[in-house]
Amino acid sequence: MPTGKIVCIGQNYRAHARELNSQAPEEPMIFLKPSSALIGDGEDIMAGDVGRVDHEVELALIIGSTARNVTDEEALSKVSHVAVFNDVTARDMQNKARKAGDPWTLSKSMDTFAPMSQPVPYSSVEDVHRLELVLTVNGQVRQKGNTADMVFPPESLISYISRFMTLEAGDIIATGTPEGVSALHDGDLVVASIPGVGTVSNRFRRK
Ligand code: MG
């Protein structure tokens, strides 16, 4: 499992921005999640009494070599692996922070809030611009999207981030979620998949 920083992108699919009552941003919206939140397939997502907790299926890009000020053209050569990521979010906490103009860090950063599948080599994926994302809860489809619908495609995200923040081997970029986020309940089985990339399956527990 990589252990670098996790750079997340907010509202990178228009339909998801709309469901959050926002408009898609004009530049990538960046926030960080700590690597201490990472868990793998089969581990439980654990949340205490923190209000609504949502799933967000995303494509994760894993950096293989240092990227600083890279162009769109060279950006994807810095990616060594890809994986399926679930950007678990304490939505009530996030909304409260947004409303107050405060950072929403904590709502995204709790232990177990970053389930990720076993990474596969980037070279094994035909085209990161045409990957289907699916998320089910207890077998029912909640999210279905395609990376073709990103506002900012993977290469733009990497070049944009690398203008400000050096990306290092082992860093993870979570590229944003399509529409359909919904609340999790104690005992739910959450399965996030990208055909051709992998699956990460986790049980949600209220501690
Ligand atoms: Mg997200």
Q: What is the pLDDT of residue 19?
A: 85
Q: How far away, in angstroms, is 74 Cα from ligand 1 center? A: 25
Q: What is the pLDDT of residue 152?
A: 97
pTM value? 0.96
Averages of pLDDT over each 10 residues, the chain, 207 residues: 88 86 88 97 97 98 98 98 98 96 97 98 97 98 97 98 98 96 97 98 95
Q: What is the pLDDT of residue 15?
A: 85
Q: What is the pLDDT of residue 167?
A: 98
Q: What is the pLDDT of residue 41?
A: 98
58 closest CA partner among 29, 87, 82, 79: 87
Q: How far away, in angstroms, is 192 Cα from ligand 1 center? A: 13
How far apart are the C-alpha atoms of 114 and 103, rounded to whole Å?
Answer: 18
Q: How far away, in angstroms, is 32 Cα from ligand 1 center? A: 10
Q: How far away, in angstroms, is 28 Cα from ligand 1 center? A: 12
Q: What is the pLDDT of residue 1?
A: 67
Q: How far away, in angstroms, is 66 Cα from ligand 1 center? A: 24
Q: How far away, in angstroms, is 121 Cα from ligand 1 center? A: 22
Q: How far away, in angstroms, is 68 Cα from ligand 1 center? A: 23
Q: How far away, in angstroms, is 176 Cα from ligand 1 center? A: 5
